[in-house]
Each structure stands twice: as C-alpha cells, then as structure tokens.
C-alpha cells in the first residue's frame, strides 16, 4: 500500500500538504488538493483507513458499552446518541456484554485501548468501584444502585416513580397475584424496580413473584409464568418482546392470558395493544450528550444520581366517543401539510370524540378571496394566516374570552415562546395558533463542509465559507454556487426565489428590509415604503435572479422541490412547509441538509391561527376539537407526519426532532419572529393587505415589468390610499 511519502512524491507536494488534504484542513490551495486527490486515486490509496490512523492521536473517543442492541431500548439509545457525538467530532466504538459481568469487564478493557474521553455504560454490576481507577470519565446509565462520584455520573430513569405508578395500578384494580417476567436477574434497573414495588405493596395482601430469564430463554419463562398455579391476575413484563412470547406461549398452552402491563420505549405512534410504561431513551441520549457538551461531568459530581422522569403510562384519546351535542363540524383552511394530515386523522377524531370533521382546504389566494368576500359564514372553524389583523378577526370569529376557563388550560401545553407571541391578551383573543411557523434557512451542509469547496470559495472571495449571517453574505454565496458563474459548482443554482404570488413575494423581501433597519412606518406612523431602504432591499433581492432558476416559483413547495432535488445550495422557507425535505429529497440528500436562522435573524412568522366562526352554534364541538388537536398524542402525531403544532411536547420529542432537526431549540428561535405589527396611527395594522400591495411591487420588478423605483412608487400610492388617507 502506498504511503504518505509516495503520495507526496507522485503529486509533487510536501508530506504535510498530503496530510492536510486527508484531514480536510482548509489551508491548501484547490490546485494542490486536486493534485493530491488525483495521486490518491491513481495509487489506489485507502484514504479512510490512513486518515483514521493519522488522526488517531487528535480525535476524541467515546466508548459505549451496552448489554445488546437487539432490544429496542438499547437500539434506540445507541442509534440516537451515536450521531450526536460523531457530528461533534467524536470517534465512537460499541461493545456488547450480554449482561454477563465477565464480558462487561472485558469490554471495559477493550474500550480503554482507545483511550476514550468518556465511557457510557449500561452496567450489570451494583458495585462500580472496580472501575474507579479508570482515567476516562464514566457515565453509568439506567443503574439506580450506582451513586455519582468524582469523574463518574449516574443517570437513570426514576424507577421509584415507576414502581409507585405500577403499585397504584395494582391496588386500584384489586390484583392479588402478580407475576414479573424480566431479563436476567443481574439487570440492575429491573431488580431495583421489583424491590421498590415490593416495598410499596408490603402492607397489602398481594403476592408478587419474579421470573428471571435470559433473552434467549424468555419463551421458557413465558410458559412457566402461564403454567403457574395459582394463575396470575396480572403479568408485568420488561418490554413488548416479552408480550409476544407470552401470546405465543398462550397459543401452545391453549390457556387464558392475564392482564399485561409492560415497559416500552417512548413512541409517538403507539404499537403495542397493551398498556405500556414508557421510558424515553431518545431523551436519555440527548441528556447525556448535553451534559458532556456543556462540561457538566467534572471532578465534583452531585451526591445523588440524576433521575430522568419517565413518560409513564400515556394518556391517549383511544377511548369511547364523548357525548357531544353536535356531531358534525366544518373547518375552512389553507392547503398545507397540517390540513392534509387532518383529513387523514378525521376518522380518528370521530372515534375519539364523536365529532365528524368536514375540511375545506383551499389554496392561499382562493381562501383569501373567500374570506374577504364575507362568504365563509357556513363554517364552524376557520384557519387564517398569521398576517391577518385582529380587526379582521373580530369580524370573523367569536371572542374566545367567553370560554376562557376552557381555553386557557390549553395554553399550558404550548411552547412558552408561542404563548408570549400570540396569547398575551386573553381579553382581545379571537384565535389561537394552529401550526405556528417561521422562516429558516436550509442549506446543503455537505457543500458548506467540503474542504475543496471551502478552499475554492476562499480563493475566489477571500472569505470563509459558512452559513450566511447577513443577506450580503447570502448573495455572495449564492453567486459562488451558481454553475453559470462558477463552472466548478456542484449544483446549478445558489438559491431559490419565490415571487409568483403577492404574499410570498413580500415575504421574500421583508426580512431584508428589517435587516437593513427599515420599518413600514415613518415617524408620524404612516406607511412608508418609497424610500432608500426598501429600494436597496428590493434591488439586493433581485440580484438572486442571476443565481436562481429562471422559472417562476409560485409557492414555497416549488422552491422546496427544487432544493430537495439537489439543484440549489440554499433556500429560505417556512418550517411548516419544510417536512417536504424529508419526503421528497433525492436519495441520501436529507443527511446533507442543514438549517440555520435566516440572515439578519429577522424571520417572518408564518403558519396559521384558528378560531370559532361568529355564526357557528357548535361551541361544545369546537372546544372539543381544540382539546383533541392540542392533546400530546394528536399534536405529536401531526408533527411526526409532517405537520406542525404549538404544543411543547412536539419540540421535546426526540423521535420527531431526529426526523425534523430544524425544530430543535425553537424556544430560542421563535422570539426573533415577527409579522403582526402596528403603529400609533395603525394599532391593528392590516399586514395581509400590505403584503398584497408590496408583494405585487416585488413581482412586477422581478418580472421586469417595472423598475424597483417605479414599482415602489406605485405601491406607495396604493398604501397612501389604503392606509394613509
């Protein structure tokens, strides 16, 4: 196999240059990168293996030691935590112990050969002192017996709380004979849990009997527990796999199956038909990553283990229909991912509440025209865009203050930032957020992190290639990634543009206006857009015509399709539209997409608000619909399927965040959003009408029908007539 020296000689460069290319350092010219890569290809050099050897002394290592990864608990934990650390530059290694103490000790010794900075271990020992001389920092997970010490953290689900929940269920249902089917008697978590249940039921006349079997012997255990005499009233299992074995054993034995409770991973879509106490292993993985990233594992540790609150037995709507006076409800909405999902969930709504939901989903302009015409009075619920003002809402909706005692408890389930933006004044509240959204920048992460591309960008611009913080940087990067201007670009266009409709066109430019310090109102409170700030913002936006597809995009899904096909390096869209990136991306592209705040960090709020029509008499059904759609189960299901919800649980659900990573940390992003604004002259400004006027100015400029000066002058005249007269 050729060496670094061979590569350097063949390419005519120094060995240090070869090393820098292999390690993707950005201090090598594009010409030398090309020479080295050409030499590597011709000499059949295995860069991955060699680069790993070269970097071994500098790379941070993390070792993960688990009983196995066949069980869902461990599989979910490992597949969640591994990318967190690898994206952060860690080299990870996995060791499996089978819950055998001797194998665990051997795994620890093997892990130490990599000199890991951290060892994460689900240990089968109750005595960790044999590991106390290890230099690496150790994180014990799911082991309630282990207390933290210096360089040692213990993070476990709260099995005392779990035991209390199970014990209460046993007492409430008057069970007298309870069997426990668990893996291996050396599993600390379930050993601790069983003892805790015993302690909590010791004053009750209840028989508790554990059956401990290794995973390969669980079917034997299922037969043994079903043949036990006397028969058990209840069986508690360690995971749903045990339930499958119990059902199979029941078929062989031709006997009745007792009631079953089980532990399970936290699932947005419930699969098991049996009640399951949920342990959120995705959240556990995120918590460990956050602890390490924020350096909260030090020489001084807390005296007590960090206890993770479990999801517990989830409340679901899968129950008998509620008795309601009205059984049919109509909803008028814009066509969106959320509306499509509600169509599919309507049968489940009827099953849960007795409400039959009829949905009329219209395109934005069609919906806008219908609402302005005042012909929406036949609907019970209406979803409008966030740009509509409260004066319009007063004409459209019944005031929600009438039912504040039934509405306000819902707000406790919302993300706090959303409450601050939309729900600060209950006395003037006519609508509540349905799918609150905001603009974000989506970009090709693989291109922005590619060493050759980064170097070429630096050589062309003398700037570092990174996600743009300003629109000046955005335009410069868009130019660089446009193949007609830079034949080396791996994509056709640097950016997308959406100006086929008035509202979308206005939304494209307004963040640029805000970044430049512009305002819609002058000092007297009048609407003023025929000025240098608006003109410059519009001109800078029009520069993108040279860096984007010449075809006119009419809605954000057009831009999304273009970006997801791999044709553009960047796009700015609303996050309630962004789930399409997951659904329609070219194979492998989703793994290459990054998200960041829009340049300037003045994103427009989007999505919609929902309220009860002034003409609707179906108040109980409408409020029942709100209770259903804002429940954790339905909110998370809508988000998982690609919609959006204001509920806090959505933004804390690691299953959802793994699919739609841009939803992470939205509590920090939402406060930067804006849309509903006003002045002393216009305390309830009609942003919707303004966007129609200004958006048309953007459109005719983008289409070459008028110059920016002419378009803004015409728009100012319309604003004067509409707002300033």
Q: Are 593 and 716 found together in one domain?
A: yes
Q: Are 711 and 571 found together in one domain?
A: yes
The answer to whether position 711 is within a domain reads yes
Half-sphere exposure of 607 (CA within 13 A, CB side): 26
Task: Name the domain count of the chain.
Answer: 5
Q: Give the residue from 396, 384, 366 showing the smallest Cα distance to 422.
A: 384
Q: Are 565 and 684 found together in one domain?
A: yes
Query: E-strand spans in 340-453?
Result: 356-362, 381-385, 432-433, 437-444
Asked if residue 267 has pLDDT above 90, the reply is no
Asked if residue 160 has pLDDT above 60, the reply is yes
Q: Are 488 and 590 found together in one domain?
A: yes
The answer to whether position 365 is within a domain reads yes
Per-residue confidence (pLDDT) for residue 296, from 0 to 100 = 62
Q: Are 545 and 684 found together in one domain?
A: yes
Q: What angle do CA 129, 131, 136 make, to 5 degrees?
A: 135
Q: Are 698 and 549 found together in one domain?
A: yes
Per-residue confidence (pLDDT) for residue 514, from 0 to 100 = 97
- The model carries a pTM of 0.86
Per-residue confidence (pLDDT) for residue 299, from 0 to 100 = 46
Per-residue confidence (pLDDT) for residue 322, from 0 to 100 = 53
3-state secondary structure at position 34? helix
Q: Are 423 and 475 found together in one domain?
A: no
383 vs 300, residue with greater confidence: 383
Tell me the mean pLDDT in the region 649-660.
94
Per-residue confidence (pLDDT) for residue 39, from 0 to 100 = 77
Buried b (16+ CB within 10 A) or exposed e, 297-324: beeebeeebbebebbbebeebeeeeeeb
Q: What percent of the chain has pLDDT over 90?
A: 68
Per-residue confidence (pLDDT) for residue 44, from 0 to 100 = 65
Q: What are phi and psi of 276, to 5 degrees?
A: -125, 135
Buried b (16+ CB within 10 A) or exposed e, 693-706: bbbbbbbbbbeeeb
Asked if residue 302 has pLDDT above 60, the reply is no
Tell me the mean pLDDT in the region 141-161.
87
363 vs 296, residue with greater confidence: 363
The answer to whether position 314 is within a domain reads no
Q: Are 548 and 568 contacting, i.e. CB atoms less than 8 angstroms apart?
A: yes
Residue 522: CB atoms within 10 A of its CB come to 14
Q: Are 430 and 516 found together in one domain?
A: no
Q: Are 548 and 696 found together in one domain?
A: yes
pLDDT classification of 703: cutoffs 50, 70, 90: very high
The answer to whether position 581 is within a domain reads yes
Q: Are 182 and 127 found together in one domain?
A: no
Q: Are 687 and 569 found together in one domain?
A: yes
Per-residue confidence (pLDDT) for residue 320, from 0 to 100 = 44
For the chain, the average pLDDT equals 89
The answer to whether position 591 is within a domain reads yes
Q: Are 140 and 102 found together in one domain?
A: yes
> How confident is the model over 482-519, as pLDDT tens digits?
999 999 999 999 999 999 999 999 999 999 999 999 99
Lowest-pLDDT range of 14-23, 146-155, 630-639: 14-23
The answer to whether position 388 is within a domain reads yes
Of 637, 652, 672, the residue that ends a domain is 672
Token pair recorded at residue 172 = 């409430």
For residue 556, what is the domain's CATH number? Answer: 3.40.190.10
> How confident is the model over 335-392, as pLDDT tens digits?
999 999 999 999 999 999 999 999 999 998 899 999 988 888 899 999 999 988 878 8
The answer to whether position 320 is within a domain reads no
The residue range of the domain holding 506 is: 438-604+680-724
Could you tell me how far CA 201 lies from the centroid of its own chain? 40
Asked if residue 556 has pLDDT above 50, the reply is yes
For residue 223, what is the domain's CATH number? Answer: 3.40.50.2300
Tell me the mean pLDDT in the region 58-76.
89
Q: Give the residue from 715, 719, 709 showing the smallest Cα distance to 679.
A: 719
């Amino acid at each position: 196999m050729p060496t670094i020296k061979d590569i350097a000689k063949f390419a005519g460069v120094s060995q240090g240059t070869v090393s820098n290319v292999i390690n993707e350092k950005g201090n090598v010219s594009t010409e030398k990168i090309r020479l080295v890569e050409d030499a590597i290809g011709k000499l059949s050099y295995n860069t991955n293996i060699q680069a790993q050897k070269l970097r071994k002394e500098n790379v941070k290592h993390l070792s993960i030691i688990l009983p196995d990864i066949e069980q869902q608990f461990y599989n979910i934990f490992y597949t969640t935590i591994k990318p967190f650390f690898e994206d952060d530059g860690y080299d990870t290694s996995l060791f499996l112990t089978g819950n055998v103490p001797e194998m665990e000790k051997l795994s620890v010794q093997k892990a130490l050969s990599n000199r890991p900075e951290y060892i994460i271990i689900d240990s089968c020992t109750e005595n960790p002192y044999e590991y106390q001389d290890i230099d690496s920092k150790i994180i014990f997970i799911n082991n309630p017996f282990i207390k933290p010490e210096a360089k040692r953290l213990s993070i476990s689900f709260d099995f005392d709380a779990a035991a209390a929940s199970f014990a209460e269920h046993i007492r409430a249902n008057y069970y007298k004979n309870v069997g426990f089917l668990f893996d291996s008697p050396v599993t600390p978590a379930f050993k601790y849990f069983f003892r805790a249940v015993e302690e909590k039921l010791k004053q009750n006349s209840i028989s508790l009997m554990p059956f401990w079997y290794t995973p390969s012997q669980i079917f034997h255990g299922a037969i043994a527990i079903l043949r036990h005499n006397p028969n058990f009233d209840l069986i508690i299992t360690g995971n749903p796999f045990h339930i499958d074995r119990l059902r199979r054993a029941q078929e062989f034995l031709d006997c009745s199956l007792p009631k079953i409770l089980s532990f399970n991973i936290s699932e947005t879509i419930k699969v098991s038909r049996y009640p399951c106490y949920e342990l959120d292993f995705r959240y556990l993985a995120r918590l460990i990553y956050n602890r390490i990233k924020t350096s909260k594992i030090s020489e001084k540790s807390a005296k007590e283990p960090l206890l993770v609150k479990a999801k517990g037995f989830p409340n679901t709507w899968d129950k008998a229909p509620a008795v309601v006076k009205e059984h049919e409800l109509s909803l008028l909405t814009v066509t969106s991912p959320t509306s499509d999902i509600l169509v599919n969930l309507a049968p489940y709504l009827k099953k849960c509440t007795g409400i039959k939901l009829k949905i009329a989903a219209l395109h934005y302009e069609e919906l806008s025209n219908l609402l302005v015409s005042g012909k929406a009075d036949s609907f019970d619920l209406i979803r409008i865009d966030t740009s509509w003002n409260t004066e319009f809402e007063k004409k459209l909706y019944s005031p929600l203050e009438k039912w504040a005692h039934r509405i306000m408890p819902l707000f406790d389930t919302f993300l706090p930032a959303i409450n601050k933006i939309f729900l600060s004044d209950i006395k003037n509240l006519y609508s509540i957020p349905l799918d609150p959204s905001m603009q974000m920048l989506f970009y090709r992460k693989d291109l922005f992190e590619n060493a050759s591309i980064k170097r070429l960008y630096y050589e062309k611009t003398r700037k570092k290639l990174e996600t743009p913080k300003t629109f000046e940087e955005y335009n410069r990067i868009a130019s660089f990634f446009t193949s007609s201007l830079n034949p080396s670009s791996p994509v056709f266009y640097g950016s997308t543009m959406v100006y086929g409709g008035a509202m979308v066109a206005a939304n494209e430019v307004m963040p640029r206006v805000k970044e430049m310090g512009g305002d819609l109102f002058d000092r007297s409170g009048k609407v003023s857009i025929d000025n240098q700030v608006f003109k410059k913002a519009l001109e800078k936006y029009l520069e993108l015509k040279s860096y984007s597809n010449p075809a006119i995009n009419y809605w954000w899904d057009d831009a999304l399709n273009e970006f997801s096909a791999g044709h553009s390096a960047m796009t700015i869209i609303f996050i309630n539209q962004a789930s399409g990136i997951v659904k329609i991306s070219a194979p492998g592209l989703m793994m290459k997409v990054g998200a960041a705040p829009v340049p300037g960090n003045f994103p427009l709020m989007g999505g919609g608000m929902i309220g009860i029509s002034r003409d609707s008499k179906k108040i109980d059904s409408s409020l029942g619909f709100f209770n259903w759609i804002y429940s954790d189960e339905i909110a998370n299901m809508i988000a998982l399927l690609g919609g959006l919800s204001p509920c806090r649980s959505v933004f804390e659900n690691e299953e959802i965040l793994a699919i739609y990573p841009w939803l992470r940390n939205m509590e920090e992003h939402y406060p930067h959003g804006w849309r509903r604004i006003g002045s002393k002259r216009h305390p309830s400004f009609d942003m919707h009408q303004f966007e129609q006027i200004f958006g048309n100015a953007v459109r005719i400029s983008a289409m070459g029908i008028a110059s920016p000066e002419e378009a803004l002058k015409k728009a100012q005249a319309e604003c004067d007539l509409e707002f300033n007269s």
